[in-house]
Structure 1
Amino acid sequence: MESFKQQVEEAAAFVRARLSIKPLIGLILGTGLGDLVTDMENARQLPYSAIPHYPTSTVQSHAGRLACGIWAGKPVIAMQGRIHLYEGYTAQQVSFPIRVLAALGIPTLIISNAAGGLNPHYSPGDLMLIADHINLTGQNPLIGPNVDQWGLRFPDMTQPYSRQLQALALETAVNERIKLHRGVYAGVLGPSLETAAETRFLRTIGADAVGMSTIMEVITAVHAGLDVLGISAITNVNLPDAYQPATIEQVIATAQQAGRDLMPLLERTIEQL
Structure 2
Amino acid sequence: MKAARVITEKLGSLRVRTALVLGSGLGELVHAVDGAVRIPYREIPGFPEGGVSGHSGELVAGMLYGVPVLILSGRVHYYERGDADAMRPVLEALRQVGIERLILTNAAGSLRSNVSPASVMLIEDHINWSGLNPLIGESSDARFVSMTEAYDAKLRSVLDQAANEIGVPLAKGVYMWFSGPSFETPAEIRMAQMLGADAVGMSTVPEVILARFFGMRVAACSVITNLGAGMTGAELSHQETKDVAPLGGKRLSMIIKKAFEIGFDQA
What is the 5 A alignment of 1:24-173? Answer: 24-146=17-139, 152-173=142-163
How far apart in 2 are the matches of 1:67 and 1:159? 28
- Indicate which of 225, 228, 232 corresponds to 2:218: 228
Residues 20, 104 of structure 2: 8 Å contact kept? yes
Structure 1: how far apart are the matches of 2:231 and 2:38? 45
Cα offset for 1:124?
A: 0.5
Counterpart-to-counterpart distance in 2, 1:102 and 1:147: 18
Corresponding residue number in structure 2 for 1:217? 207
Q: Determine if contact 1:127/1:180 at 8 Å carries over to the other structure.
A: yes
From the superposition, tell whether residues 234 and 132 of structure 1 become closer, same or farther in structure 2 (CA, over 3 Å). same
Q: Is the CA contact 1:196–1:243 (under 8 Å) kept in the aligned structure 2?
A: no
- 1:237 correspondence with 2:227: yes
Cα deviation 1:81-121 (Å, max 9, x = unaligned): 00100001512222221111111111100011000111122
Provide Cα deviations, 1:157-212, integer angstroms capped at 9, x if missing partner.
Answer: 11100011111111111110001000000011000001110110111101100000
The answer on whether the counterparts of 2:50 and 2:76 sit within 8 Å (CA) in structure 1 is yes
Q: Which runs of 5+ in 2 are unaligned?
A: none
Question: 1:270 matched to which residue of 2?
Answer: 260
1:42–1:69: 8 Å Cα contact kept in structure 2? yes
TM-score (norm 2): 0.95
Counterparts in 2 of 1:102 and 1:124: CA distance versus 1, 3 Å: same
1:19 has 2:11 as partner? yes
In 2, Cα distance between the equivalents of 1:241 and 1:142? Answer: 34
Aligned length: 262
Contact 1:68–1:76 (CA<8 Å) still a contact in 2? Answer: yes
Counterpart of 2:198 (choices 208, 223, 228) is 208
Unaligned residue ranges in structure 1 (runs of 5+): 1-8
Give the aligned residue type for 2:251.
D
Counterpart Cα distance in 1 of 2:201 and 2:226: 11
Tell me how far apart the structure 2 counterparts of residues 169 and 145 of structure 1 sit (CA, whole Å): 33
Report how far residue 34 of structure 1 moved. 0.9
8 Å CA contact 2:77–2:202 kept in 1: the answer is yes
In 2, Cα distance between equivalents of 1:115 and 1:227 = 22
User: Is contact 1:109–1:229 with CA below 8 Å preserved after alignment?
Assistant: yes
- 190, 195, 198: which one pairs with 2:180? 190
Q: Indicate if the aligned counterparts of 2:38 and 2:58 stay in contact, CA closer than 8 A.
A: yes
Q: Taking every aligned residue pair, what percent have the same amino acid on both sides?
A: 38
State how far apart, in whole Å, the 1-side matches of 2:159 and 2:231 are.
Answer: 33
Q: Distance in 2 between matches of 1:129 and 1:186?
A: 13
Alignment of 1:237-256 (within 5 A): 237-238=227-228, 240=230, 242-256=232-246
Deviations 1:51-103 (A, max 9, x none): 11210011001000000000021110100000100001512222221111111
In structure 1, C-alpha distance between the alignment counterparts of 2:181 and 2:254, rounded to whole Å = 30
Alignment CA distance shift 1:79-1:89 (3 Å): farther
Provide the aligned C-alpha RMSD in A: 1.3
Q: What displacement does 1:231 show?
A: 0.4
Distance 1:89 1:75, change over 3 A: farther
Question: Matches of 2:228 and 2:130 in 1, distance apart?
Answer: 20
Task: Assess, with a 3 A threshold, how the Cα gap between structure 1 residues 250 and 16 changes in structure 2: closer, same or farther.
Answer: same
Please list the CA deviations of residues 28-69 of structure 1 after superposition, one character each: whole Å capped at 9, or x if unmatched. 000000111201111000000111121001100100000000
